[in-house]
């Protein structure tokens, strides 16, 4: 069936398979199923709504309101919000049930949940598992000696990474899995000692590679398979390759940027596959790996049966409409950040570590059978953070669901939907739209956001204080000439003019890799890597080889040569 999106008015399709999934995950109380209705928003508007709750890159200094330890937080200053450090938030020094409240059936339920989000103490950053010397990580866990990595798990000695999984000694990367000693890489899997490479797998000791697999000791190459000692796709002997490389000095910022520009030239001659991914069965999307029956999804790994998924990795099954993260997530729907052995999570933002049967919850951990709870951990049978018996819970939740089916009206009196079956509204976000991940994928101007009654954040933290500053353009071109005390200086970002520092660990990494030091701030480098990837949008386009119509993230006006999968495989193998 076709439906018109309540937000953007575009038409979208709801299939029989979609309806079957909504029916399968609908909750049951006293042997009665409370059916989840089809969504009112199109897939993109649903994803935008999930992203608006997520501040993944902007942090602020504060102190824990319980132990008074200095820390950083995702919440901007000026909010009347209680914030605890991780140790205090997960500790026994407070009880989230102390903020519990009765359901008021005379008011919409969402408004009552929002009141709790502003009262119950929040955790400063979101990190899970056992972490060692890794206080400054966000949406991450199981880390050792890591700094400012986001959406990352099982990493060691990694800095400034996004979407890292099982990485070691990697810096400045985007969606790198099971990699070691990689720098400035995007979408690289099982690689060792790569620099400035993208869409590579099982490659070692190379730089400026694109779409290569099983390659060793290659430089400025595209589309190679199982090659060694190649330079600009030309096969060389080991001696000739080493002579060529002797003239390349990636410690020079000028040489590094020259090589980056040359790779862009080579990419225009390269044949790209219509999508990125491998080991797939009955799948549609981009950057899918080891997936089965996954559709209209992006950046997923080890997922079976799902749709409208984004960045769901390390195992998930039977999941729809979820942004981040997986790790044995199952039978779940409409979630923003959920995983780690979680089951039957419905309409939740931030559900972690063995949660089950949680519905309309905001930041819960090790919690089960809870409805409309906020910042709750290790509890069960709670509603709006108030404790109930199992019998009371089973009696009250169905009444709340019926209450949530009450039609909502917009300011002009027209039907605006109902609460049941929809995720929290965008107004729930504690962040300005421009500081969230929604701005990356669905950019708005301040005026556009204001018209939609979405918050905007013009706050800029005071610049870092430093007795020594240096413009990036004044740095020595070659990092061998960078003095040891650069770690005591603040560098002026060449793009934004903001100050940033090089840490001692970073400097040691750059020297180990024999590469230049960055001229841009960590946030700007993240944005640069983001824009190296294709958008999460599909266009109709014809295969440049056989003319078959394909759906691809390469828009028709882009200059790249794009083949269907069949023609691509014939080309590279």
User: Which of the four pLDDT bands, split at 50, 70 and 90, describes residue 417?
Assistant: confident
Backbone phi, psi, residue 484, to 5°: -60, -30
The CA-based angle 290-264-564, given to 5 degrees, is 40
Mean pLDDT of the 116-135 span: 94
Q: Specify the residue for token string 């059978």.
A: 369
What is the token pair recorded at 237?
């002997």
Mean pLDDT of the 522-545 span: 96
Alpha-carbon distance values, 265 to 207, 208, 325 (Å) = 15, 12, 35
**Predicted pLDDT at 292:** 98
Backbone phi, psi, residue 479, to 5°: -65, -15
Least confident range from 156-160, 460-464, 539-543: namely 460-464
What is the C-alpha to C-alpha distance for residues 31 and 69, in angstroms, rounded to an integer?
49
The secondary structure of residue 132, as a DSSP letter, is: B
Helix (H) or strand (E) holding 127: strand 127-128
Question: Residue-wise over 108-121: b if at least 16 C-beta within 10 A, else e?
Answer: ebbebbbebbebbb
| Segments making up each domain of the chain, as ranges | 168-270, 469-519, 539-572
Largest Cα–Cα distance of the chain, in whole Å? 80
The model carries a pTM of 0.94
Average pLDDT, the chain: 95
**Predicted pLDDT at 432:** 97
Beta bridge partners of 216: 204, 228
- Asked if residue 449 lies in contact with residue 433, where contact means CB atoms within 8 angstroms, the answer is yes
**Predicted pLDDT at 414:** 60
**Predicted pLDDT at 463:** 78
Mean pLDDT of the 200-225 span: 98
**Predicted pLDDT at 412:** 56
What is the token pair recorded at 546?
């056989």
Closest CA to 177 of 169, 199, 344, 187: 187
User: Which of the four pLDDT bands, split at 50, 70 and 90, describes residue 28?
Assistant: very high
**Predicted pLDDT at 314:** 87
Task: Write down the H helix ranges in 205-300.
Answer: 238-246, 253-267
**Does residue 114 sit in helix, strand or coil?**
helix
**Does residue 280 sit in helix, strand or coil?**
strand
Tens digits of per-residue pLDDT, 360-396?
999 999 999 999 999 999 999 999 999 999 999 999 9
Find the helix packing angle between 390-404 and 109-117, rounded to 10°: 120
The secondary structure of residue 147, as a DSSP letter, is: B
**Predicted pLDDT at 229:** 98
User: Which of the four pLDDT bands, split at 50, 70 and 90, describes residue 410?
Assistant: low
User: Which of the four pLDDT bands, split at 50, 70 and 90, describes residue 458?
Assistant: very high
User: Is cis: bond before 325, omega within 30 of 0?
Assistant: yes
């Amino acid at each position: 069936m076709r439906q018109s999106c309540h937000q953007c008015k575009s038409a979208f399709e709801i299939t029989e398979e979609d309806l079957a999934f909504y029916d399968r995950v609908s909750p049951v109380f006293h042997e009665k199923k409370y059916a989840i209705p089809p969504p009112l928003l199109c897939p993109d508007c649903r994803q935008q709504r999930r992203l608006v709750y997520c501040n993944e890159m902007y942090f602020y200094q504060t102190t824990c309101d319980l132990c008074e330890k200095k820390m950083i937080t995702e919440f901007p200053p000026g909010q009347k919000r209680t914030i605890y450090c991780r140790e205090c938030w997960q500790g026994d020094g407070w009880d989230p049930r102390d903020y519990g409240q009765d359901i008021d059936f005379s008011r919409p339920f969402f408004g009552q949940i929002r009141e709790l989000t502003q009262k119950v103490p929040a955790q400063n950053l979101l990190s899970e598992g056992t972490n060692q010397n890794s206080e400054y990580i966000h949406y991450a866990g199981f880390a050792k000696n890591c700094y400012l990595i986001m959406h990352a798990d099982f990493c060691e000695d990694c800095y400034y990474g996004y979407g890292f999984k099982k990485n070691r000694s990697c810096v400045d990367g985007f969606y790198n899995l099971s990699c070691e000693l990689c720098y400035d890489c995007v979408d690289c899997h099982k690689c060792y000692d790569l620099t400035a490479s993208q869409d590579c797998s099982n490659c070692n000791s190379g730089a400026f590679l694109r779409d290569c697999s099983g390659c060793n000791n290659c430089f400025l190459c595209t589309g190679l398979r199982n090659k060694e000692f190649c330079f600009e796709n030309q096969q060389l002997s080991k001696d000739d390759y080493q002579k060529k490389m002797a003239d390349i000095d990636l410690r020079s910022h000028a040489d590094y940027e020259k090589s980056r520009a040359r790779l862009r030239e080579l990419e225009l001659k390269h044949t790209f596959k219509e999508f990125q991914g491998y080991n797939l069965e009955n799948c549609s999307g981009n950057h899918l790996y080891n997936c089965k029956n996954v559709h209209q999804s992006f950046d997923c790994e080890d997922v079976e049966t799902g749709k409208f998924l984004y960045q769901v990795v390390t195992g998930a099954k039977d999941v729809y409409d979820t942004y981040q993260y997986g790790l044995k997530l199952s039978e779940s729907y409409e979630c923003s950040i959920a995983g780690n052995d979680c089951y039957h999570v419905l309409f939740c933002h931030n559900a972690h570590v063995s949660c089950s049967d949680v519905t309309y919850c905001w930041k819960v951990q090790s919690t089960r059978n809870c409805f409309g709870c906020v910042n709750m951990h290790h509890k069960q049978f709670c509603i709006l953070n108030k404790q109930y018996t199992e019998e009371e819970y089973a009696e009250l939740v169905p009444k709340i669901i019926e209450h949530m089916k009450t039609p909502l009206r917009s300011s002009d009196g027209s039907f605006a939907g109902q609460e049941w079956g929809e995720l929290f509204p965008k107004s729930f976000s504690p962040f300005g739209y421009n500081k969230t991940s929604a701005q990356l994928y669905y950019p708005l101007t301040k005026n556009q956001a204001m018209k939609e009654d979405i918050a905007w954040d013009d706050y800029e933290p005071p610049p870092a204080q430093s007795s020594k500053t240096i413009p990036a353009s004044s740095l020595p071109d070659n990092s061998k000439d960078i003095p040891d005390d650069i770690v005591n200086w603040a560098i002026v970002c060449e793009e934004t003019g903001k100050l940033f520092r090089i840490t001692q660990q970073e400097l040691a990494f750059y020297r180990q890799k024999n590469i230049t030091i960055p001229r841009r701030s960590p946030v700007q480098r993240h944005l640069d890597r983001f824009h190296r990837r294709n958008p999460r949008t599909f266009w109709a386009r014809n295969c440049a080889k056989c003319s078959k119509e394909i759906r691809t993230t390469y828009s028709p006006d882009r200059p790249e040569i794009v083949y269907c999968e069949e023609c691509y495989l014939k080309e590279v193998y």
